[in-house]
């Protein structure tokens, strides 16, 4: 029985598309460039970034005075690849999805951030729009990908069961969170604004004073 020419062409086209998609899914995105294990230069950059951030966040500042930092993408990725695993090893309470080996970030647009993870031998990524509103930080997924294969988020799924859903990797990132970091001395650092551009992140903060302690209730008479 001969297959009609149109059906044969359609089957060949589908086969070619599947083969191309599979090849793209197995390939590595151009922006995925984690430092080599044991790289002294990358380790020094990761440690310098960590120490610099700690110094900036804990510096004594005048109340209500905004301040800003600039983080290069290469330095952030060196920290994600080399220092983050060490933090996770010492603090088991930090969230870390099973099967994820490495994490990298890519700053794509003023309000767009792509997070990628190496999972089961493939690079899975999610591009998100970052927003700050009413003191809350929200990550709105816009697209995803496996390797170099781009997947619209409407196909990739936006719920926690979706293969590319950000909640699959880190559930905490799928919900709005307070854009505020408490400091050990009781002060708080509020994220006011941000911008991603040319492979770096520019972040603006404000250090808030300690919250006043609640008044003590009078002791009952004896």
Most confident of 107-111, 140-144, 155-159, 191-195: 191-195
Q: Which domain holds residue 139?
A: 101-177
Specify the number of domains making up the chain: 1
- Is 196 a member of any domain? no
Count the Cβ atoms, other than its own, within 10 Å of residue 190. 16
137 has pLDDT over 50: yes
- Is 136 a member of any domain? yes
Q: What is the pTM of this model?
A: 0.76
59 has pLDDT over 60: yes
Torsion of CA 143, 147, 149, 153, to 10 degrees: -20
Q: What mean pLDDT do residues 69-97 have?
A: 82
- Is 154 a member of any domain? yes
Q: What mean pLDDT do residues 1-23 have?
A: 55
What pLDDT was estimated at residue 152?
66
What pLDDT was estimated at residue 14?
56
- Is 108 a member of any domain? yes
Q: For the ranges 69-83, 124-138, 202-216, which has the lowest average pLDDT?
A: 202-216
Count the Cβ atoms, other than its own, within 10 Å of residue 1. 2
Q: How large a percentage of the chain has pLDDT more than 90? A: 27
Q: How large a percentage of the chain has pLDDT more than 70? A: 69
- Is 192 a member of any domain? no
- Is 110 a member of any domain? yes
* Helix (H), strand (E) at residue 66: strand 66-72
- Is 15 a member of any domain? no
What pLDDT was estimated at residue 140?
80
Mean pLDDT over the full length of the chain: 77
- Is 182 a member of any domain? no
């Amino acid at each position: 029985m001969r297959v009609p020419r149109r059906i044969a062409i359609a089957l060949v086209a589908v086969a070619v598309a599947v083969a191309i998609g599979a090849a793209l899914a197995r390939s590595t995105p151009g922006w995925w460039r984690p430092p080599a294990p044991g790289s002294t230069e990358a380790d020094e950059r990761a440690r310098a970034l960590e120490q610099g951030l700690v110094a900036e966040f804990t510096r004594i500042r005048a109340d209500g005075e905004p301040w800003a930092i600039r983080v290069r993408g290469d330095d952030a990725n060196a920290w994600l690849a080399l220092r983050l695993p060490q933090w996770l090893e010492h603090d088991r309470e930090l969230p870390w999805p099973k099967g994820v080996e490495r994490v990298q970030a890519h700053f794509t647009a003023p309000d767009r951030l792509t997070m990628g993870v190496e999972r089961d031998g493939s690079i899975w990524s999610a591009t998100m729009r970052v927003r700050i509103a009413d003191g809350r930080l929200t990550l709105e997924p816009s697209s995803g990908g496996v390797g170099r294969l781009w997947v619209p988020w409407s196909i990739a799924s936006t719920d926690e069961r979706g293969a590319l859903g950000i909640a699959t990797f880190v559930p905490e990132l799928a919900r709005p969170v307070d854009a505020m970091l408490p400091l050990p001395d009781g002060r708080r650092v509020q994220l006011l604004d941000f911008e991603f551009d040319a492979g770096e992140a520019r972040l603006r903060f404000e250090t808030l004073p300690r919250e006043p302690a609640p008044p003590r209730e009078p002791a009952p008479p004896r």
